[in-house]
Each structure stands twice: as C-alpha cells, then as structure tokens.
Structure 1
Amino acid sequence: MEPTPLDRLEAGMPILVGGDRVVTVSDELAAAFAPGDALLTVPADGALLHVPAADRRAASAAVDAAVAAFESLGQVDEAQLDAFYTAFAERLADDEVFAPIAAANAEDVAAAEARGRSTTRLMLDARMRTGMIDGLRGWAAAGSVRGDVVASYQHEGWTLEQVTDRLGVVAFVFEGRPNVFADACGVLRTGNAVVFRIGSDALGTARAIVAHALDPALREAGLPAGAAALVDAPSRAAGWALFSDPRLALAVARGSGPAVRQLSAVAHQAGNAVSAHGTGGAWLLASEHADRSRLAAAVHRSLDRKVCNTLNTVGIARSRADELVPIVLEMLTLAATELGTEAKLHVLDRDRAAVDPSWFDTVVPIHRAEGLSEEPRAETIVRAELGIEWEWERSPELSLFLFDDLDEGIETYNHTSPRFVLSLISEDPGEHEQVWARAEAPYVGDGFTRWVDGQYALGTPELGLSNWEHGRLLGRSGILSGDAIVTVRSRVRQQDPDVHR
C-alpha cells in the first residue's frame, strides 16, 4: 500500500505512538496543521510535535547545502582548512569586524532579559570571545586524523588496513550559546560538513557571526559555502525538522532537560546516530575516610560558575556529618561571596537535622533568570529531587544528603543522578576502586568536578558531552571531539594476484 501525504489533522484523530499506544489530536493542533506540515511523535511520552512547512524548508535547505559541500570536501587539502580556521579566528579578533556581532548580541541579551529569560550563557563577553578565538586557532593547529591507519593486518599475499575517513553531515542543535559555533566548526577538520540550529534567543548573534566572520572565512579559504550552514529559523520545530532528516551522519544536541531528550528521540526515530548531553550537574561523595581540606577545596573549586560540570549534589557519610557538613556549607557560602551574592541549599528531608536551623529560617535574595527572588537560604527536598540540575544564575546552589555507608552513597547516585560526573573524597584507595567498579559514571574523579571539559582535560576543543542517563556508550568516550567524528574504512592491498579462498 502506497502512503499518502498528510495534509490535514482532525480534532480527536487517533495517532499511533510507539507501536502500542494511541494519542489523539487536540483542537489546537488540528487548527494549526496545514498542507506541507509534518507531525512527529515521541514514544516515551506520547508527545505530538508539529513541524510547520516553513521550518521543514529551512532545515532541508541547510542540509541540502551541507550534503553538496560534503561531496566537495574530499578534495579540500589541509592547508585550506588551516586557512579557514585562521581567517575565522582573525575576523572574530578584529574589533571592527566584531562590532556588528557585539551589537547583535547586545540586542539578543536585551530581548531575552525583557522576556525574563536567562542570559548567563547568551552573553558574548570578552571571555567567551577569547575562548572562541582560541578554540578556532586550536583547530588550525590540530592535525587531521583523516587517513590515519588505525590497524593493519598482514595475511599471506595481502594486507588489510583500517583507515579513518570523513563521516558526513553533522547537525548541531544548541541553546543560546554563541561560542558553540567555534566548537562545532571543528567537524570540518576531518572533512565533515556541519549544520547549526541555535535557540531563538541567540539567533540574531548567530546571523551576525555567519555574515561577518563564518561565511567570509569559508570564501577566503576556498571551501564550499554549505560546509557550515545555519538553519535560519527561530522556531524550536526547526530543530525537530533538522534532526528528523535521515541524511545526517550524526545529530549532536547540546544543552539539557526535556528539550534535549525530545530532540534525541526525534533523531533516533529517523535512524540518526545521536550524541546528546542530557541532564548535567556533578555529584560528590565524601566518605568516612574523607580529608577535610581536600573536601573543602573540591567544593570551593567546583562552584565558580554554572555550567554542566558544576558541583550540584553532595553526599556526606553520616558518621562524619557533624564535622564535614559545616565545611560544605562554609565553601558554598564562600563561593557565593566571591560572586557577590547569596547561596541556596536543598537538603534531603530526612537529613534536615544535619544543617544549622538558621539556614532554613533565614530569607536571602537569590538570583533567578527572572530577577532577584526572596527565598529561604535552605529548603528540604525528597529523594527523587536529588538529581535535579540547579540552573543557577549568580547564586550557587547545591543539594545535600547523608549516607550510612559508601554502598548507599553509590546506590543513591546510580538511581537518582543523571549519571554524569562523580567525585569521591576519600583517603582509602579501596573505596576509589569500589566507586570505579560500581558507579554508573562516565567521568570519575577524586577532587573538583570542573575538569570534565574536552579542551581543559584533553587539549582538544569539545563538541559535546554525553552522560549515561540512557545507558553506557558503545565504543567511545562521553567527550565528543572533532577528531572522533570519523568513519573507519577497510582497504586491501594485494601482493599476490592469485589469492583465493
């Protein structure tokens, strides 16, 4: 039976989801749907995602350009790629060229603030600008792994080599972080093409970067125009349209929360490989063998700013709670003081007695995306809430719980955390081996948590991080870097023309 185009929806129409469930079309969805639109489903929660025709066209046009560019990138030499990264970096470093980018970013920030949106990661300040420039120069200096022989097998009369090569079109969907442009362009280093979709808050900044820095750098280096293409559409549906395109070799979702889970589901249903961050927030366990000064340093140095690897949840051995909990609170307060603000604490309800009552009785101003909020310095939470990632603005925010023994601490991490970063503070080597063997954590440390970063830890610009929220990853690290986005081809060189089976 030939499928027919879906050109309309009716209220109450049943839609099959996940092969064994049905959801019905709402009045609003039926009224909004028009010929040329698409309807995607999310099996996990039964969500119906409406993709308007305009968003489908915007995504398809960008992928069309990237597919065409990928066919040409096989003939591009390393010197051209070096020239692209250098030109991109130099244009961002040029104050005259950067001025319209800065102006566009200022407009984006002002508009986001007016809507009560967070601007912590949207603001393209001097620090972010320098990071983008350094990242691009890093890509220029990095050698390509394309063509590397990763394994060789000698047989009688013939040799097989396994060789890295270009993968294809890589799609990025990221929130309002302009610096991801520089990160994502790293896929060109191995001969891939890239398509970006950025959140509506930062779309003006993205357009300015493309017009004043990215596209001119591509032209200057002689690279095909579609090698790095922007999906120029503000709607979230454009991201769904992009990730549902089966021509993608890899879909990378930056950010966290339900939006990323939804994007991942869309990509999986299209048959696309996915690298998705998921929920962030690092965990730290301090056992009965914890060193006081090491705990203090780890907490303090993990709360300098809010990113995915910022310390989020702390577990303390109950036998040393009287001694160690005050250290955690002192360092949380110090981190807030250094940021010129107040701290926020969430305590597991059963462990409230471990915290000075004044923390619950004192009301302080906490910085939220929508502005200052007068809140108790500490509040209680239930066990299921230990895994919430606190997306704080300027006010450092932590969850705290106690455990009877390390097994309980690990079990709590495995069952309530996003399975991301775990640090153990202990002077007992056996406990570190216990955590390594039992904890479902892709990133395990014994001190501060902010090391989980491709550039910082590996010296390679990071394209994305993945947690183990949905299981371990097949054959790769959770840190996705440009030199990892390759395929492996097998090539035979036959010395004996009469080899046979």
Structure 2
Amino acid sequence: MSSVVDSPVIATARRAREAAAELAPLPRSVRDAALLAVADALEARADEIVTANRVDVERAREAGTPAGIVDRLTLTPQRVAAIASDVRDVVALPDPVGEVVRGSTLPNGLELRQVRVPLGVVGIIYEARPNVTVDAAALCLKSGNAVLLRGSSSAYASNTAIVAVLRDAVASAGVPADAVQLVPGESRDSVRELMTARGLVDVLIPRGGASLIRTVVNESTVPVIETGVGNCHVYVDESADLETAVKILVNSKAQRPSVCNSAETVLVHAAIADRFLPLALEALTAAGVTVHGDERWRKTGEQAGVDVLEAGDEDWADEYLSLDIAAAVVEDLDAAVAHIRRWTSGHTEAIVARDAGAIRRFTARMDSAAVMVNASTRFTDGGQFGFGAEIGISTQKLHSRGPMGLPELTSTTYVVTGDGHTRE
C-alpha cells in the first residue's frame, strides 16, 4: 500500500494553510507586535541580509544584467533601514479585519453583519526586487493572511535570508512562523506547482512584467488578481490649457518612466495640434523622451529639428517602461476614446480639459481602474490615494480594482445572529 508524498511546494502550502487558520483569529495587537518585531529584526540583522544580497548582485553583474535591474536588486544597510521603516508605517494603518462593512436588523429580528475576514493563503509571484518580499509579507500579516513568497531566482539568496529573518521575528511575537514562507525551488516547476495548488492557496498576485502576469493569468488554476501592466494614456482635449497639458504630459511620462502608472501614449485633439505639438515636442525632448509618432507628429518633428520615430501597432500596444512615448493626433474626443478602448491595459487614463462636458463624456466612457482629470497618471498609487502601502494595482474588475491596500486583502463573512429563529 503506497502513500503519496507531497512535493516541497505542496508541503509548504499545507503548512501555510494551517498557519492561516491560527493567524486569522489573532487580535490586532499580536499581529502589530509581530510586524514591529520584523522591523527591529531587519535592522538588527541587516548585515546578514546585505551579505546574502551581494551573492545575487554579483551573479547578476556577471550575467550582464542591465544596470537598472541590478540597482533594483541591490540592498544596502540604508535600504534595509528604509524597508524596516515602511513596515512600521504598515503597523500604523487601520486594521481591516473585523470591520463591519454593512449590517441591519431584518424584519424577522435576525441581526445581519457583513464582516471583513482574511483571504487565507496569499501567494505572491514577483521579480527581481527583494524589498517586495518584506512589503508583501507585512501587508499580508497585517490583514491576517499567511503568505507564500515566490521571488525570481535572481534574488534567491536575498529572499532566503530575508524570509529567515521574518520567520524568526514573527515567531518571537506569537505568530506561526509558517505564516511567512518562501516557496522552495528556483525552477519554473515550483511556480507551476504554486499556480495549481487550488484548495491550498486562496489567491495569487503576480507582480512584474507583462510576460510574467500573462503566464500566471493563463496557466493558474488558483484564482488570480491581475496587477501591474500599465499602457496608460493622456488625452489632450481641444479645451485644454496648453501649459497645463504640457506639464501633466511630461510628469506622466518622465517623472519615473519605469513604473506601471507612467504614460505610454499621448493623444491630441486635431483642433489644437498645430499649437500644442511644438510645445510638447520641445518639453519631451528636454526631458530625454523619444517620441514614436503618427504622420502629424513626425511632420512637426521635422519642422522643429526633432527626430520622431514612426509609430505602428506595436507602439500603441507597448508598455515601454522607458523614456519613450507613442503619440497621435485624433479628430475628436470620440476618436480618442475609441483608440484608448482598443489599446488600453485598463490601468490609468488621463484627460486634460477645461470643458466640463468633455470631461464628463470621457470619464463616463473609460473602462480603466483609474481616470485622472487634469492630473498626472503617476497619482495612481496606494500611497498617493491615502491608502498607505499597496500590494499592487489591480487592472481587473473582480474582487478589487485599482490600488490594493489592506481592505483589498480581505474577503467578507456574513454573521447572522438570531434567538432560536427557524425558517418556515
């Protein structure tokens, strides 16, 4: 008679399931104490973390990894201290667990309450940045969830060291150590096992590039919250103040181009193109931005002595994450809306306009997580929205949409209290 032995990934998920059941009923005071212990431990053991991180950084450099990615991978004592400070900020956030979303007394006398509860076991699949290991663990613990962390192999030594610190810290505060676990293995097989651990893992959240997110969404049997990919648009209406429009456009694109809420396409109403395009090209060029434009933008570039590349379908679809932007002139607001609805990833769109009617029409017809009116796309962020830290920005419609703070890491339970009630 043979028995089936769990793989290391499934065994890890089973331990997380048990830890989640123990963690969920713990009061806020215990969860907050665990997070404070995490912050203290990160600072106390920073040298240990940085030493492990050097292994990953050296390996990345030897592999010819781009400097920007190496920088995101690198940890220093100062960066570890900043991560610890972020954990303390999470402690100060309101506790979503136990919050009554709505409640009433029914006509038959039953008391009905819809109460926030943890999701259970949350799996995070993410790339390069080891700070995400701490951020994700802190948010999951604060919201009463056990977390399974599957970072990229490029940060394996760093993540192993960090998770060891986290587990020791939470255990010292009375929280099960298995509430925080690193998914074992560096191969794609371990990722596939995590994605198919339905019944053990309640939800997966992928954080990274379009390829990673697409793979998780398409292949996972565990429910997925799709986050991150941002093909964001700025539409400059004929009623826009041109100076304001230039300022918003440059900030949306160039303030931090490598993030999901940076603008990737600008659309300009034909009625103001002759006046706006030269101003926009001058400002974008000064900010180091390369424009991939339609015929109208390229002609303006020739007149201004600026090299504008020809834009094709790949440009309208692309999330550049670099100092590049696609640009087109559209006949009117309806044409802008049609273009956006065809190419958007559902993250953030912006309109720059003074006409209230145009603003109403644009916002009503957008189908994205966030719509900015006379403001930069860069504001789509949990911290900027006043939510505190976020686990990611959801671009889907079910369970949550937009910046995901602590409440979005919970589900709800209906608690119905009677006095011997029976149904006839």
1:69 Cα deviation after fit:
0.7
The answer to whether the 8 A contact 1:105-1:204 is kept is: yes
Q: Does 1:210 align with 2:134?
A: no
TM-score by length of 2: 0.90
2:261 maps to which residue?
309
Is the alpha carbon distance of 1:437 and 1:490 closer, same or farther for their aligned partners in structure 2, counting shifts above 3 Å? Answer: same
1:75 Cα deviation after fit:
4.2
Q: Distance in 2 between matches of 1:329 and 1:123?
A: 35
Q: Distance in 1 between matches of 2:65 and 2:110?
A: 62
2:48 maps to which residue?
100
Is the alpha carbon distance of 1:152 and 1:459 closer, same or farther for their aligned partners in structure 2, counting shifts above 3 Å? Answer: closer
The answer to whether the 8 A contact 2:206-2:216 is kept is: yes
Structure 1 residues 119-268: aligned runs within 5 Å: 119=69, 120-124=71-75, 129=80, 131-155=82-106, 156-185=108-137, 186-211=139-164, 213-246=165-198, 247-267=200-220
Paired amino acid for 1:417: T
> Which runs of no fewer than 5 residues in structure 2 stay unpaired?
none
Is the alpha carbon distance of 1:146 and 1:117 closer, same or farther for their aligned partners in structure 2, counting shifts above 3 Å? Answer: same
**Cα deviation code 1:166-204 (max 9, x no counterpart):** 221010001112221233121222221010100111112
**Cα deviation code 1:106-154 (max 9, x no counterpart):** 3323322332334153233678545523331122112322222222221
Q: Distance in 1 between matches of 2:86 and 2:407?
A: 14
SS at match of 1:62: helix
The answer to whether the 8 A contact 1:168-1:249 is kept is: yes
1:82 to 5, 25, 32: 32
2:410 maps to which residue?
486
Give the CA RMSD over aligned residues: 2.4
SS at match of 1:436: helix
2:250 maps to which residue?
300
Q: Distance in 1 between matches of 2:146 and 2:410?
A: 12
1:475 Cα deviation after fit:
5.5
Paired amino acid for 1:104: A
**Cα deviation code 1:74-112 (max 9, x no counterpart):** 342322211111122223334xx2123223333323322
Q: Distance in 1 between matches of 2:306 and 2:251?
A: 22
2:353 to 426, 437, 450: 426
Q: Does 1:441 align with 2:368?
A: yes
1:389 maps to which residue?
319
Is the alpha carbon distance of 1:347 and 1:222 closer, same or farther for their aligned partners in structure 2, counting shifts above 3 Å? Answer: same
1:322 Cα deviation after fit:
2.5
Which protein has the bigger strand share? 1
Structure 1 residues 41-120: aligned runs within 5 Å: 57-94=7-44, 97-118=45-66, 119=69, 120=71
Q: Distance in 2 between matches of 1:58 and 1:355?
A: 58
Structure 1 residues 453-472: aligned runs within 5 Å: 453-468=381-396
**Cα deviation code 1:217-259 (max 9, x no counterpart):** 1122121111011013222332221111002111101123122
Q: Distance in 1 between matches of 2:46 and 2:63?
A: 26
1:430 Cα deviation after fit:
1.1
Q: Distance in 1 between matches of 2:184 and 2:205?
A: 18
Aligned residues: 411
Q: Distance in 1 between matches of 2:277 and 2:62?
A: 39
Paired amino acid for 2:188: R
1:39 maps to which residue?
none
Q: Distance in 1 between matches of 2:21 and 2:404?
A: 24
Query: Share of identical aligned residues, percent?
Result: 27
Q: Does 1:326 align with 2:326?
A: no
Please say which of residues 149-158 and 248-257 is displaced more in the overlay.
Answer: 149-158
1:351 Cα deviation after fit:
4.3
**Cα deviation code 1:344-376 (max 9, x no counterpart):** 22123564213236333xxxxxxxxxxxxxxxx
The answer to whether the 8 A contact 1:194-1:228 is kept is: yes
2:300 maps to which residue?
354
1:281 Cα deviation after fit:
3.5
The answer to whether the 8 A contact 2:110-2:417 is kept is: yes
Q: Distance in 1 between matches of 2:277 and 2:55?
A: 44
Q: Distance in 1 between matches of 2:113 and 2:347?
A: 36
Q: Distance in 1 between matches of 2:421 and 2:212?
A: 57
1:490 Cα deviation after fit:
1.8
1:310 Cα deviation after fit:
1.3
1:28 maps to which residue?
none
1:3 maps to which residue?
none
The answer to whether the 8 A contact 1:256-1:280 is kept is: no
Q: Distance in 1 between matches of 2:342 and 2:381?
A: 24
The structure with higher relative contact order (CA 8 Å, sep 6+) is 2
1:463 Cα deviation after fit:
0.6
The answer to whether the 8 A contact 2:347-2:402 is kept is: no
SS at match of 1:162: strand
1:288 Cα deviation after fit:
1.1
Q: Distance in 2 between matches of 1:310 and 1:131?
A: 24
Q: Distance in 2 between matches of 1:221 and 1:123?
A: 29
Is the alpha carbon distance of 1:422 and 1:187 closer, same or farther for their aligned partners in structure 2, counting shifts above 3 Å? Answer: same
1:499 Cα deviation after fit:
4.8
**Cα deviation code 1:355-401 (max 9, x no counterpart):** 236333xxxxxxxxxxxxxxxxx421213531201133xxx221111
1:436 Cα deviation after fit:
0.9
1:323 Cα deviation after fit:
1.9
Q: Distance in 2 between matches of 1:195 and 1:439?
A: 35
Is the alpha carbon distance of 1:294 and 1:265 closer, same or farther for their aligned partners in structure 2, counting shifts above 3 Å? Answer: same
Q: Distance in 2 between matches of 1:182 and 1:444?
A: 30
The answer to whether the 8 A contact 2:96-2:406 is kept is: no
The answer to whether the 8 A contact 1:174-1:199 is kept is: yes
